[in-house]
Amino acid sequence: MSFQTAPRFADVAAVDVATLPAVPVAVRPEAVRGRIDAVLPMRHASERRVRIAWELVGPDGAPVVFVAGGISAHRHVAPNTVFPEPGWANGLVGEGRTLDPARCRILAFDYIGSDGSLDAPIDTADQADAIAILLDALAIDALQGFVGYSYGALVGLQFALRHPSRLRKLVAVSGAHRPHPYAAAWRALQRRAVTLGQLQCADAQGLSLARQFAMLSYRTPEEFGERFDTAPEIVNGRVRVAAEDYLDAAGAQYVARTPVNAYVRLSESIDLHRVDPAQLGVPTLVVAVEGDRLVPLSDAVALVEGLGTHGKLRVLRSVYGHDAFLKEHDRIDALLATALRDNGENA
Measured between alpha carbons, how far is 113 from 122 in angstroms, rounded to an integer?
A: 8
Judge whether 292 counts as a catalytic residue: yes
Q: How far apart are CA 76 and CA 114, in angstroms?
A: 14
Catalytic residue among 123, 129, 292, 333: 292
Query: Which candidate in 72, 76, 126, 150 is catalytic?
Result: 150
Q: CA-CA distance, 300 to 282, in Å (whole number)?
A: 16
Choose the catalytic residue: 76, 163, 273, 322.
322
Distance of alpha carbon 21 from alpha carbon 53, whole angstroms: 18
3-state SS assignment for residue 56: strand
The Cα 330–Cα 92 span in angstroms is: 8
Distance CA 281, CA 197 (A): 44
| Distances from the Cα of 334 to the Cα of 36, 89, 148, 155, 303, angstroms | 34, 15, 15, 22, 22
260-289: string of b/e by CB count within 10 Å (b at 16+)? bbbbbbbbbbbbbbebebeebebbbbbbbb
150 is catalytic: yes
Are the C-beta atoms of 171 and 336 separated by less than 8 Å? yes
Residues acting as catalytic residues: 150, 292, 322
